[in-house]
Structure 1
Amino acid sequence: MEFRPNNNELPLTKFESMLKTNNVLFFDSEEFENIIHYYLDLGKIALAKKAIKLGLDQHPSSTNLKLFRVEVFVFENKLEEADALLNDLYILEPNNEEIYIQKANILSKRDQHEDAIDLLKKAIELSDDDVADLYSLIGMEYLFLDKFEDAKYNFIKCLEADLDDYSALYNMVYCFEFLEQHEEAIEYLNIYLDKNPYSEVAWHQLGKQYYALKNYKKAVAAFDFAIISDDTFVGAYIEKGKVLEKLKRFNEAIESYSTSLSLEDPTSFALLRIGHCHEKLGNHDLAVQYFYKTVHEDPLLDKGWVAITKFYIKQRNYQKALHYINKAINIDSENVKYWKLYGQINHRLGFLEAAEQGFKKTLELGNYELNTWLTRCDILIKIGEQEAAIYNLLQAIEFYPENAEIEFRLAGLYHVENEQEKATFHLKNALIYNPDYIFIIEELFPETYKSTFVKKVLNPKE
């Protein structure tokens, strides 16, 4: 029922001309079906509705035109109206497969996926035509139910009926990937390629499975076959570039990414990866040029700003690094990695208050690494915030109990705060856990280290 403008231009032109006048012209029901199908494919619902109304005025008994009305009802979420019309049609044509398909569509909209599957299976029994689409619809219903094995089976059945249904192919591979069945996916894709050896999509998906298994050489070969099948397939060049990076073949990776850029508008991902490849090759000027191209292409790509930040950190140009990490944080202020970089850069620059805020935000966002707690504590000590430092460590000790690095710091802090009992308690704990870390007190609290308090704990008999 697909409308082909080159074969049916006259009915469409005549229909659109009729809409501009008050004249009502006659069309046979098949012409109306083609016109409606054409408008629905284009998403021109209002024109499709006009064609349905006029079509039913001229052919009131046409089941196909009524089914188009059902389709529009479902699209507009008028499920009760759609259901009522389908019930009427079922009485007239109980063996019309399209009625079951539309009924299943309504049930799916109502999240009654098991019932929808039953009706689609009935439609397959009644169908004399190609059933590939029906298997694909059943597969989608099983996906809604998270029944990936059943979904996979039906997408495979769809592909058996129609090798060129790439939507089913993608969905089938998705099921294999979700089930972590990469070996099985490879086995199926090889069988599929025996039947359809020039399917660039299948070669591409095969390469991704080899990549997941870290079989990079076979992945490259698969992407090469995808490119042989379609030398304008941008996705294959991108994926091949990623694999070549893993193999440390950076010049070839740059070539692959560059080819993708020549085939369509530049993508920020490809520009970013080329920058990283140049960085690995020691081409620092070229690397930063591509990082700048990345953020020029997509100013909201925070990864681009972070790449520039890390580049300047490696160059020890911390002022520029700070400028660019601020841009990344402005784009994604909830990214824990960015705040940690912010803290580290400010720390290097000696901006201790800003560094402390960066590490505090890092902790608030869920980064509970020991080093984050300890670094923030040491900064708080340097800026004279002993109470905040103690509170920070008491939080840390919940995640890292019996940790000498925490205990030595608490001992020094409590001694500075003149809480000798607590200081002694934590110093004894620290010495039990790991006495080698005594240098922490020597470095952070030199006066405490020289005091009789430490000597007494270290040598209680003296």
Structure 2
Amino acid sequence: MEFSHNDNNNLPLLKFESMLKTNNILFFDSDEFENIIHHYLNQGKIALAKKAIKLGLDQHTTSISLRLFKVEVYVFEDKLIEADTLLNELYNLDPMNEEIYIQKANILSKKDDHQQAIEVLKKALRLTDDIIDLYSLIGMEYLFLDQFEDAKVYFMKCLEEDLEDYSSLYNVIYCYEYLNQNEEAITYLNMFLDKNPYCEIAWHQLGKQYYGLKKYIKALTAFDFAIISDDTFVGAYLEKGKVLEKLKRFEDAIENYSISLKLDEPTSFALLRIGNCYEKLKNDDLAVQYYYKTVHEDPLLDKGWIAITKYYNRKKNYQKALYYINKAINIDPENVIYWKLYSQINQRLNFYEEAERGFKKTLELGNHELNTWLSRGDLLIKLGEPEAAIFNFEQAMDFYPENAELEYRLAGLYFTLNENDKGSFHLKNGIRYNEEYAFIIDELFPEVSNKILVKTLLKTNL
């Protein structure tokens, strides 16, 4: 029995807690102790569970069930040797107790011996009528082993016993998705729905599978049935909104996102999608209002700040775009996308030093895309810092060896510094890797392109 402080049947729990406060020792039968301990373990109140176990065993010294709770706490506290020792004692006393096998499997699982845990759980199956929990535990052990086909079989067994075991349903679909078996998942879900036609979870999952396969009309139908099954199912409205966006039915999408906001606390995802839909409908005022609401609702959601920044960027209102990306960076200075946008906006405003700083920060945060190296290096050239530009491009070559765009830039820089041997070396490399990028010399280094040596090398090698 599961206790609740609002439950009329919670007298043993109240009696136990009163005993703890007064230090008076009261008697409980072993079943009452089991329910009390179970309650505390479910609540995560381990210290109280341990007190109940101790007092329970003081009053019922031979109770195997209470000692099994002691094993469970040992396992929770990673005292696996103590747990194993006590389990062996209990096995000698009651070798047909399936809970002993379950706890043994739990210990093996903690030791990452999942295959052995499965074997022990299969033995427990032969000792109990309560097979659903064991099927689920076996399925989870197979998941730990990345044996998704086997895991899927056992979660399906759970559903054969109980069609409303939605946790197992989610796990079955997870296995199908991991195995990239979308069509098979659809077949299974349709079979499941034949038996349980008003299961909103199954309709929702079916819609997601169709969505993944870009079968948007079928996805829409599935989400409609999910809503018919439960018209308060927020997830179905959100997913339906996504499908309607794909079908360019933006007003209908807004309606579904808006319903989700009325059913539950506002979500930044729904607000963001509504803003995006209004922008697609050319309703800029409402679009930006919802972008504002998005970042107000969840300042940590990068997609909100990115949306509002890109909105102003598209409108060529670079000052406002810069204002919002600066606010975003103040909240999360380690976000690479923010710094890339910061750099691009500053570049459009001709704030080259700030743009270069942004690209440098982007690289420091681990974004080593070729375009980031090129953009930063070109800005250093523009800022009259050839040595820093050379260092930047040479670092880039560690990630992109034999890249013509880098070689031509290094050639131009070395020729600019009158280091002709190095310039010639890199120019020849650039021509060898891709002669079509030779225009970089003319574009970035017009003075260098007029040098006789450079003209000769280009003429000879092209």
TM over 0.5: yes
In structure 2, distance between residues paired with 1:84 and 1:438 = 75
Letter of the structure 2 residue corresponding to residue 401 of structure 1: E
Residue aligned with 2:22, SS: coil
1:354 aligns with 354
Quick check: 99-108 or 433-442, which moved more? 433-442
2:320 aligns with 320
Letter of the structure 1 residue corresponding to residue 386 of structure 2: Q
Q: Deviations over 1:87-135 (max 9, x none)?
A: 22211211111111111112212222122111111110111x2200100
Q: Deviations over 1:155-182 (max 9, x none)?
A: 1111111221111111221111111111
Residue aligned with 2:266, SS: coil
Whether the 8 Å CA contact 1:397–1:406 is kept in 2: the answer is yes
Whether the 8 Å CA contact 1:139–1:154 is kept in 2: the answer is yes
Alpha-carbon distance change, 198 to 418 in structure 1, aligned in 2, over 3 angstroms: same
1:248 aligns with 248
Matches within 5 A, 1:266-285: 266-285=266-285
The structural deviation recorded for 1:137 is: 0.4
Unaligned runs of 5+ residues in structure 2 are none
Q: Deviations over 1:392-435 (max 9, x none)?
A: 444556627363x5555445433322234554565566677777
Alpha-carbon distance change, 267 to 428 in structure 1, aligned in 2, over 3 angstroms: same
In structure 2, distance between residues paired with 1:85 and 1:126 = 20
Letter of the structure 1 residue corresponding to residue 138 of structure 2: I
Quick check: 418-427 or 283-292, which moved more? 418-427
In structure 2, distance between residues paired with 1:433 and 1:124 = 65
2:49 aligns with 48
Letter of the structure 2 residue corresponding to residue 79 of structure 1: L
Whether the 8 Å CA contact 1:370–1:400 is kept in 2: the answer is no
In structure 1, distance between residues paired with 2:186 and 2:217 = 14
In structure 1, distance between residues paired with 2:70 and 2:369 = 60
Alpha-carbon distance change, 45 to 448 in structure 1, aligned in 2, over 3 angstroms: closer
Whether the 8 Å CA contact 1:303–1:328 is kept in 2: the answer is no
Quick check: 205-214 or 437-446, which moved more? 437-446
The answer to whether structure 1 residue 388 and structure 2 residue 388 are counterparts is yes
In structure 1, distance between residues paired with 2:296 and 2:27 = 56
In structure 1, distance between residues paired with 2:65 and 2:439 = 86
In structure 2, distance between residues paired with 1:430 and 1:36 = 73
Letter of the structure 1 residue corresponding to residue 166 of structure 2: Y
Q: Deviations over 1:160-212 (max 9, x none)?
A: 11221111111221111111111111111111111111111111111111122
In structure 1, distance between residues paired with 2:286 and 2:35 = 55
1:28 aligns with 29
1:202 aligns with 202
Alpha-carbon distance change, 310 to 125 in structure 1, aligned in 2, over 3 angstroms: same
In structure 2, distance between residues paired with 1:406 and 1:374 = 8
The structural deviation recorded for 1:370 is: 4.6
Letter of the structure 1 residue corresponding to residue 227 of structure 2: I
In structure 1, distance between residues paired with 2:91 and 2:116 = 17
Alpha-carbon distance change, 103 to 411 in structure 1, aligned in 2, over 3 angstroms: closer
Matches within 5 A, 1:259-338: 259-338=259-338
Matches within 5 A, 1:30-429: 30-127=31-128, 129-396=129-396, 399=400, 401=402, 403=404, 406=406, 408-423=408-423
Quick check: 40-49 or 303-312, which moved more? 40-49
Quick check: 405-414 or 169-178, which moved more? 405-414
Quick check: 289-298 or 54-63, which moved more? 54-63
What TM-score results when the alignment is normalised by the length of structure 2? 0.89
Whether the 8 Å CA contact 1:302–1:331 is kept in 2: the answer is no
In structure 2, distance between residues paired with 1:172 and 1:322 = 46
Alpha-carbon distance change, 346 to 84 in structure 1, aligned in 2, over 3 angstroms: same
Quick check: 419-428 or 165-174, which moved more? 419-428
Whether the 8 Å CA contact 2:272–2:290 is kept in 1: the answer is yes
Whether the 8 Å CA contact 2:211–2:219 is kept in 1: the answer is yes
Letter of the structure 1 residue corresponding to residue 92 of structure 2: I
The structural deviation recorded for 1:336 is: 3.3
What TM-score results when the alignment is normalised by the length of structure 1? 0.89
Whether the 8 Å CA contact 1:182–1:209 is kept in 2: the answer is yes
Letter of the structure 2 residue corresponding to residue 50 of structure 1: K
In structure 2, distance between residues paired with 1:118 and 1:435 = 64
In structure 2, distance between residues paired with 1:361 and 1:30 = 62
In structure 1, distance between residues paired with 2:35 and 2:425 = 86
Unaligned runs of 5+ residues in structure 1 are none
Identity value in percent:
72
Quick check: 47-56 or 230-239, which moved more? 47-56
In structure 2, distance between residues paired with 1:104 and 1:133 = 13
Whether the 8 Å CA contact 1:302–1:327 is kept in 2: the answer is no
Residue aligned with 1:231, SS: coil
The structural deviation recorded for 1:256 is: 1.5
Residue aligned with 2:10, SS: helix
2:12 aligns with 11
Letter of the structure 1 residue corresponding to residue 194 of structure 2: D
Whether the 8 Å CA contact 2:3–2:13 is kept in 1: the answer is no
Quick check: 31-40 or 85-94, which moved more? 31-40
In structure 2, distance between residues paired with 1:426 and 1:55 = 81
Alpha-carbon distance change, 26 to 278 in structure 1, aligned in 2, over 3 angstroms: same
- Count of aligned positions: 458
Alpha-carbon distance change, 145 to 429 in structure 1, aligned in 2, over 3 angstroms: closer
In structure 1, distance between residues paired with 2:354 and 2:366 = 19
